Amino acid sequence: DLRVAVTQALRMGALSFDVVKHLLLCRVERRPPRLDLDCYPYLPKATVEKTRAGSYMRLLSDDAEDAA
């Protein structure tokens, strides 16, 4: 059940302890999960992009060392 909850959270892009716990409990209790962030209007909207190797390469370049 835990593996399924983690996989489901990964697919949703919402991996955190609270999400996995909620999904796991819903699975055990056989009820649908309620993960609607509209209930929390005070939380900022998050935008997450895929990681690009070039971003890390810039951090390792000489220019990044000069800026530090």
Distance in angstroms (rounded) separating the CA atoms of residues 39 and 24: 21
Q: Is the pLDDT at 34 greater than 60, yes or no?
A: yes
Q: Is the pLDDT at 4 greater than 70, yes or no?
A: yes
Is residue 37 within 8 A of residue 11, CB to CB? The reply is no
Mean pLDDT of the chain: 81
Neighbours of 52 (CB within 10 A): 9
Task: Output the pLDDT for position 3.
Answer: 93
Distance in angstroms (rounded) separating the CA atoms of residues 68 and 22: 42
Taking only the tens place, the pLDDT of each residue in 41-64 is 776 777 778 888 888 888 888 665
Burial of residue 23 (number of CB atoms within 10 Å: 0-12, 13-18, 19+): buried
Q: Is the pLDDT at 38 greater than 80, yes or no?
A: no
